[in-house]
Amino acid sequence: MCRFARARFCKLLRGTAAYCKELGNQTFYDFLLYLKINSPGMIQAFETAPANVHDLRMLDEVAEGDSGIMLADRAYLSQPVKEQLLAKQGLELSVPTKYGRPSPLSCEQLGKRKRLRRPIKTVGSRLKHDLHIKKIWARNLWHLANRICRKIKAHTFAVMFCSRNKFKPLSLKKLISM
């Protein structure tokens, strides 16, 4: 929403946004967007939260009603939370292990999960670069929510048109060149 130097004077969404550190240790006054994506790359659910909310606190809302296997990044690496999700709703949380630590999965299973993780990064970069979801021009929470919904709907329609035209689901740039 705005950089650290301007955050004290920023009147946009005062009281709902919060401070966070991004890669490169730059501090922002912003929100975080949590996405649940299926294997072809379609966004199934999303939640927004102030930037100072930890990822584990948002896991219940994003994974509500799910069972099976859910792939997540290293921010969700917590054994008690993993065991609680498995006991409570039958959801196995698959988080990559840290480098150098042995994984309980076989090489074949690791390779399959690595291929399934690839659309997660692709969807994030499509939303960021092609649909400019990081730019917040909203002056209140209602307009921010509508802006995010429009961007996610645009992504959903693009994935649907790609699959209808026999393209890979996340090859959105091919739609423009048609």
Which pLDDT tens digit goes with each residue over 9-55? 665 666 676 677 766 667 776 778 888 888 888 898 888 888 788 88
pLDDT, mean of residues 137-141: 75
Beta strands in 106-164 (DSSP E): none
* CB 34 within 8 Å of CB 49: yes
Mean pLDDT in the chain?
78
Cβ neighbour number for residue 99 with a 10 Å cutoff: 5
Report d(CA 115, CA 14) in Å as an integer: 40
Report d(CA 96, CA 103) in Å as an integer: 8
- Residue 6 class from Cβ within 10 Å (0-12 exposed, 13-18 middle, 19+ buried)? exposed
| pTM (predicted TM-score) | 0.75
84-109 confidence digits (pLDDT tens): 888 888 888 877 766 656 666 667 77
- Please give the pLDDT value at position 17: 67
Residue spans per domain, the chain: 2-176
Report d(CA 162, CA 80) in Å as an integer: 40
Which one, of 31, 50, 44, 26, lies nearest residue 120 by Cα? 44
- Give the residue, 100 or 81, on which the prediction is more confident: 81
In this predicted structure, the answer to whether residue 176 has a pLDDT above a threshold of 80 is: no
Report d(CA 106, CA 98) in Å as an integer: 16
- Please give the pLDDT value at position 143: 84
| Strand 91-94 with 68-71, pairing | parallel
